[in-house]
Structure 1
Amino acid sequence: GIMQHIEDAGVHSGDSACVLPPYLLSGAVLEEIRELTRKFALELGVVGLLNVQYAIKDEVVYVLEVNPRASRTVPFVSKATGVPLARLAARVMAGEKLVDLGVQEEPPVPGVAVKEAAFPFNRFDVDVLLGPEMRSTGEVMGFDDSFGMAFAKAQISA
């Protein structure tokens, strides 16, 4: 799934709130992200999971990093979509085909899911300013039919 960070680039992805499905990206940008991701997976020979981080500025897509591995977002996307991504990836790595597992290209999200980071600021003496170093110690999910309510639920839970 394509997740959109809410904070600007420069905040560690583990500390950034994000939303699935993306709420402010144009159809053209989403299609370019899908196409670039397919190309990376094929060129790198990835069998299993692939994590790609992009930055978007004025409808131009920039690649920040490509990681042929699972990331901390896999459980979030799995919970939001109801698709057991880690299990499916393991089966694919063991030789099964996605088509035989009934996998669609991109699992639909039956609402809006917002991930928010949980921070230990009230327990530890750490700087509250977010940047490239990850400071969160956990994360929560807000889920609803609208972005606003999903975001509010995530904020209350964090």
Structure 2
Amino acid sequence: SILGWKEYELELMRDRNDNVVVVCSIENFDPMGVHTGDSITVAPAMTLTDREYQRLRDIGIAIIREVGVDTGGCNIQFAIDPDDGRIIVIEMNPRVSRSSALASKATGFPIAKIAARLAVGYTLDEIPNDITEKTPASFEPTLDYVVVKVPRFAFEKFPSADSTLTTTMKSVGEAMAIGRNFTEALQKALRSVERKGSPFAFTGEPGDKAELLRESVRPTDGRINTVMRSIRAGATPDEVFAATKIDPWFVDQLFLIHEVAGELADASGITRELLAYAKRHGFSDAQIAEIRGLREDVVREVRHALGVRPV
């Protein structure tokens, strides 16, 4: 079984001269077993080694040629065994897909628009890049930021529905956020879902560690919040990984968010350095106010007085 393996996607485009570009790599936060539309996803892929990425790239280019996508784009999904690096191709969609829309928004590379031009005979080197206005579409996009997509569920409207996430997609929408690092983009995306209980909470009793870890085994719409509560209750990275099979790198990032929240709570006062540090990891004024026991407008006034503003 490939349940528990890491899941990745590549978006590729090919023209009539057999030029192929990889537009974007996407990594699923949840392991195999959860539909990619129901998983938190990250672009570019965070935990791939360069050798693994080049292998996926070579396989993807071979697939788009073998299937016969002469012009246009495709989406290819892979599973990688975290123990030995074995790669299995899950599926290939020779069309513009939901992931293509995410890749377009994440990179600024208009996949559908370019696919239409390729279909009427243009080649990638003849199509200008709308973002740089200097390079052609044959240059693969390079990201110096992180994009996180968080799915939006509506189980509250269907009380009898099973909230367990499986290979059948159950989300009704999604929110995307951009940050300088994963922690910032993740926290912004969780808030952007605009659903009560979606952003991380750092006050109050988290609950029993053992019970929270047992809950984390079952993938649900709120599992990431359950994992954070288990971390607050004293769970170790190894315990979280054993329960969820979420890649250790992502688990470490959740622990980093928890550590920043702890530093905010323990600090004797709010300094410019502390506020900037919290903002770099995606903490909102409301979260900082909750942690410090202040009103949100007070935190905002202090932040402005210290000169910490969005850039």
Structure 2 match to 1:53: 77
Specify the SS of the correspondent of 1:49: strand
Structure 1 match to 2:44: 21
| CA deviation vs aligned residue, 1:42-100 (integer Å, no higher than 9, x gap) | 11221211111100113221111112111101221111111111100111112110111
Any conservation in 2 of the 1:78–1:85 contact (CA below 8 Å)? yes
Q: 1:82 aligns with which of 104, 108, 117?
A: 108
Specify the SS of the correspondent of 2:177: strand
Any conservation in 1 of the 2:75–2:100 contact (CA below 8 Å)? no
Residue 91, structure 1, aligned to residue 114, structure 2: no
Specify the SS of the correspondent of 1:4: strand
Structure 1 segments, 4+ long, off by >2 Å, are none
Any conservation in 2 of the 1:118–1:140 contact (CA below 8 Å)? yes
* Partner Cα separation in structure 2 for residue 148 and residue 43 of structure 1: 39
TM-score, normalization by structure 1: 0.95
* Partner Cα separation in structure 1 for residue 64 and residue 100 of structure 2: 17
Q: 1:149 aligns with which of 174, 180, 184?
A: 184
Q: 2:143 aligns with which of 109, 121, 143?
A: 109
Q: Which moved more, 1:141-150 or 1:40-49?
A: 40-49
Q: 1:5 aligns with which of 23, 28, 42?
A: 28
Specify the SS of the correspondent of 1:31: helix
Q: Percent same amino acid at aligned positions?
A: 37
Structure 1 match to 2:152: 118
| Unaligned residue ranges in structure 2 (runs of 5+) | 1-23, 128-135, 194-311
Specify the SS of the correspondent of 2:73: coil
Q: 1:67 aligns with which of 87, 93, 109?
A: 93
* Partner Cα separation in structure 2 for residue 62 and residue 2 of structure 1: 16
| Unaligned residue ranges in structure 1 (runs of 5+) | none
Any conservation in 2 of the 1:81–1:110 contact (CA below 8 Å)? no
Work out which structure has the larger RCO, using CA pairs closer than 8 Å and 6 or more positions apart in sequence. 1
* Partner Cα separation in structure 1 for residue 99 and residue 146 of structure 2: 15
User: Relative to total residues, which structure has the larger helix share, 1 or 2?
Assistant: 2
Q: How large is the Cα RMSD of the aligned pairs?
A: 1.2
TM-score, normalization by structure 2: 0.49
Any conservation in 1 of the 2:96–2:111 contact (CA below 8 Å)? no
Any conservation in 2 of the 1:6–1:18 contact (CA below 8 Å)? yes
Residue 41, structure 1, aligned to residue 64, structure 2: yes
Following superposition, the deviation at residue 116 of structure 1 comes to 1.0
